[in-house]
Structure 1
Amino acid sequence: MLTHPFEVPESKKIRLIINTDAKNEADDQYAIVHALLTPRFNLKGIIAAHFGERRTTASMQESYDEIINLLDLMNMNDEVPVFKGTERSIPNENTPTMSEGAELIIREAMLDDRQPLYVIFLGAITDLASAYLACPEIAGRFTAVWICTVTTSLPLLSPDNIRFFLYLGQTCCHYIATTSLPLSRRMTTSLPLSRSL
């Protein structure tokens, strides 16, 4: 059990779920470690996300294995549960692709808990789209934060941004962008896209 030099009152803590394509790039490992070491976070789970099929057909499983490896390296494999996300994007805007991760989002969102719930997405938002499709009642019950790289000077669904979303699942990105589900986008650059996922 990790101990901190000070205690955060329960009333000041927030519930957190991390959805991460941890095997895609090295930055997600830092975000996971930071969350694990932050005493204000009541980490409810880490969801392994897919990152498309350009490099591998098992990207979600590779992300899952990377999360387990990171927790093993920190001797924290019993500290937080790890869930498998969906293996690929939703097939259309009416059909969820359910996963352990989407079920976790629904379960935590529907709890009557005084601690607010935040779900951060460090890659694809497929589990968010699937959770919302399966249970629209989750809208307004948590804050979804999507940390992504898009051209911020352009509309969310501009051609340049759509090219980026193709790697993450254009259908689920379009679906979320056109719903009433609140989504906070934390952009990481305003430069033309060159990152391959």
Structure 2
Amino acid sequence: MLYPTITEAQRMERLTSRTGRIRMVLDTDTFNEIDDQFAVVYALQSPERLQVEAFYAAPFFNDLSTGPKDGMEKSYHELHKILKLMGRTDIPIYKGSDAYLPGSEAPVESEAARNLVERAMASSPEDPLYVVAIGAITNVASAILMEPRIIANIVIVWLGGHALHWHNTQEFNLEQDIPAARIILDSGVPLVLIPCMGVASHLKTTLSEMRDFVKESGVIGEYLYETYRQVHPDHYAYSRVIWDISTIAYLVNERSTPSVLLPSPIVSEEARWSQDPSRHLIRYVTYIDRDGVFRDLFQKLSKGAN
């Protein structure tokens, strides 16, 4: 597959901090875990920085689904549930891929992929669309295959894989659809990569924090609290990672998610990283200020309840 070429200077310009509001879409396997719900709410509670234009339901396959299509459908309904609880009827939700990519050149057609192409083509390099992905990146890779020119008009922020120093990158979002991950890493699209283990894994919280700082934050706060409470039978000395809010934190306040520029890594079929210094650059988040991120989230939930 030949992708449109953007220069390294153009790519670096896209990966430089922007002021003002950012236009974004959120691609999420919302029913897969409890962290997607927090990311959805965090994005919607950050209107000073984020203009959320659409939600895309991503496929997933684990104990909570019978296959990628079922996972996508459940995520689609979970998105509707969250927006209804928040009284939001202004943001469209699109169904995504019902299967993973069959190879490196065949997209999976879906409402989400088609809508992403439309929005990206209506954008520009000067005002790019930020594509925030917190699941298997099938929808986004499909959109690139359907219309490679969107590479010039988007910036992808993806929670995928583990840290480059980790012994493997057998992480749920990446490992579900390695062909899709390779498209994102190989195409030259401006990419902010946030690793799971070693970086986003700092974002742990507890039931006590949920009770003190989330539960009383209106209907959606009660929902997030109950979602957290029910996910584990014993909360004594227990904490849980809310991985997906890392992507929203990066967009809302980059100081809480310091990053570097480095060559886009290569992922093997066995989900292991390798590096080639001649490859194009991406932005790679190296650390997350856990306290700063949760402080911002809790404060925004509290304001939303007032």
- Fold shared per TM-score above 0.5: yes
Aligned residues of 2:161 and 2:173 also touching (Cα < 8 A)? no
> What is residue 41 of structure 1 aligned with on the other side?
50
> What is residue 18 of structure 1 aligned with on the other side?
26
> What is residue 184 of structure 1 aligned with on the other side?
192
Deviation string for 1:90-124 (max 9, x for gaps)? 11111100111111211111114664311100111
Superposition pairs of residues 1-197 of structure 1, within 5 angstroms: 12-39=20-47, 40-52=49-61, 55-56=64-65, 57=67, 58-76=70-88, 78-112=89-123, 115-154=127-166, 160-162=168-170, 164=172, 167-190=175-198
The CA deviation at 1:162 is 4.8
Partners of 2:104 and 2:123 lie apart in 1 by 29
Aligned residues of 2:104 and 2:179 also touching (Cα < 8 A)? yes
Pick closer, same or farther for the CA change 1:42–1:106 going to 2, 3 Å. same
Residue type at the aligned position of 2:55: I
Residue type at the aligned position of 1:67: L
> What is residue 6 of structure 1 aligned with on the other side?
none
Aligned residues of 2:57 and 2:95 also touching (Cα < 8 A)? yes
The CA deviation at 1:153 is 0.8
Partners of 1:121 and 1:112 lie apart in 2 by 18
Aligned residues: 178
Partners of 1:111 and 1:166 lie apart in 2 by 28
Listed as ranges, the gaps of 5+ residues in structure 1 are 1-10
Pick closer, same or farther for the CA change 1:19–1:82 going to 2, 3 Å. same
* Structure in which a larger fraction of residues adopt helix: 2
SS in 1 for 2:194: strand
Aligned residues of 2:156 and 2:192 also touching (Cα < 8 A)? yes
The CA deviation at 1:130 is 0.3
Pick closer, same or farther for the CA change 1:151–1:164 going to 2, 3 Å. farther
Aligned residues of 2:154 and 2:189 also touching (Cα < 8 A)? no
Q: Which has the larger radius of gyration?
A: 2
Partners of 2:56 and 2:78 lie apart in 1 by 11
Percent identity, aligned pairs only? 31
Moved more, 111-120 or 177-186: 111-120
Listed as ranges, the gaps of 5+ residues in structure 2 are 1-18, 202-240, 242-306
Pick closer, same or farther for the CA change 1:126–1:151 going to 2, 3 Å. same
SS in 1 for 2:51: strand
RMSD across aligned positions (CA): 2.4
Aligned residues of 1:84 and 1:101 also touching (Cα < 8 A)? yes
**Which of structures 1 and 2 has the larger relative contact order (alpha carbons within 8 angstroms, sep 6+)?**
1
